[in-house]
Amino acid sequence: MYKIEKKPYGYRLTFADSISPDEMNAWVDESKKVLVTSPTKFGIFVDMRTLRPLANEARHIMENGQKLYKQNGMERSVVILSSNLTKIQFKNIARDTGIYAFERYIDASSEPGWEQIGIKWITEGIDPDK
């Protein structure tokens, strides 16, 4: 399951449970439509607390989606996770797509206030890693 929501800072993306390659393609297609009207610069808040690790085919589609957001004005993104395995996978994807320097990862299972911390990174550049 995925969801795209417009927010004052940009977009909130939710990825949950298992996502098939077909569903990941649907996310990329919907993202293309949404990004046509996006501001020139924006932030992305990604909630994937319940997402299971992606299969290889879905991972490659996710990489294309990340590149799409970066090419269309994404300045910073934050990823909220609850699984160390998913965190490792998405750090690797971010390195492969060139967005790692602009993305932060927050473990919701051990970080109270994860939502506010993530939004402060997106809107104010307050680095949660420092």
Q: Which domain holds residue 31?
A: 2-124
Asked whether residue 61 is assigned to any structural domain, the reply reads yes
pLDDT category of residue 130 using cuts at 50, 70 and 90: confident
pLDDT of residue 84: 82
> In the prediction, which pLDDT does 65 show?
94
Selection from 36, 34, 37 nearest residue 12 by Cα:
34
Q: Is the pLDDT score of 43 beyond 90?
A: yes
For the chain, the domain total comes to 1
* Inter-axis angle of helices 21-35 and 56-71, nearest 10: 10
SS3 label, residue 109? coil
- Its pTM stands at 0.90
Q: Is residue 54 part of a domain?
A: yes
Nearest CA to 53 among 94, 91, 85, 28? 85
pLDDT at 111 over 80: yes
Domain of 49: which CATH number? 3.30.750.24
If we measure between CA atoms, which residue out of 53, 43, 12, 10 comes closest to residue 2?
12
Rounded Cα gap, residues 66 and 83, in angstroms: 20
Q: How confident is the model at residue 122 (pLDDT cuts 50, 70, 90)?
A: very high
Model pLDDT, residue 72 = 96
Q: pLDDT at position 80, please?
A: 96
- pLDDT attached to residue 88: 86
In a domain, 129, yes or no: no
What pLDDT is recorded for position 98?
Answer: 83
Q: Is residue 130 part of a domain?
A: no
